[in-house]
Structure 1
């Protein structure tokens, strides 16, 4: 299998992680499509640098998240930190919360986190180990644990406050 075929296969096998990163860091379908293309382009450009010291998915997450963060900073867009207080009040007033509503509320709260926190919580929710998250983000394993604990507290506080 040549380089192009191997790369195409890797993208198809792991395109879910690219979509997750684009969904987390963008607000509109057009932005998601643009970011998806930019991530794939950056993966292709740096494909020769992948030396298999880590898992392919770990390397892809690192490139995807770095690309998303760079893309957002470069375009100097507001990162969708709109208040959801009216929506949260409406949901908390209801007696019976569906799982979908709870997930949407959690997603909305995650969207309000800063860029690094979003990335860390995405990887945590994906079931990545502290070691993998540290490798992807570029911080120590201990720092990952501390940040995850703080992010959980922040989210819990925001969700129970409503």
Structure 2
């Protein structure tokens, strides 16, 4: 049996990197039940693709991010009509469910930041997720299948947008 078709190896790797699955599911799904379904679908698609995983081309975590984001964005496109294209912003309950460190009392700026991120389109949401995970531009480019230059440009625009929104929110007292 090839190492990349060994279910035990896959289960071990997936368990070691399950945080990726839960973070992506938490960022792209609306309700807890939807997040669970999305996480399960990500796991299934990762298993189906595992035989094509090439450790000489990417780390497992990079490969898994790519699979997870592709599945999440595909699911979002299929179901966006039922959500009217709107996703709820990440709140403390979402961050808890995706395994993020619990925060004592999120201040208004952090709450606003998550609300603004929740309004981004799926690609920009993926970009900011990977950026906040301290992935390099090269890793982000590999995961999303775009150039490093495109990553840098898009992240620059996202930062500019977030700065403007955060400044606007602060000046209006929101």
> Is 1:118 equivalent to 2:121 in the alignment?
no
Q: TM-score, normalised by structure 2?
A: 0.80
Q: Cα deviation per residue 1:33-59 (whole Å; 9 max; x = unaligned)?
A: 010000000000000010111010000
Distance in 2 between the 1:20 and 1:78 partners?
22
* Residue 125 of structure 1, CA deviation: 0.3
> Is 1:78 equivalent to 2:69 in the alignment?
no
The number of aligned residues is 148
Aligned-residue CA RMSD (Å): 1.8
Say if 1:22 and 1:36, in contact at 8 Å, map to a contact too.
yes
Say if 2:30 and 2:88, in contact at 8 Å, map to a contact too.
no
Q: Which runs of 5+ in 2 are unaligned?
A: 90-103, 170-174
* Residue 79 of structure 1, CA deviation: 4.2
Q: TM-score, normalised by structure 1?
A: 0.85
What pairs with 1:125-140 in structure 2 (closer than 5 Å)? 125-140=132-147
* Residue 74 of structure 1, CA deviation: 1.3
> Is 1:108 equivalent to 2:115 in the alignment?
yes
Q: Which has the larger helix fraction?
A: 1
Q: Which runs of 5+ in 1 are unaligned?
A: 84-97
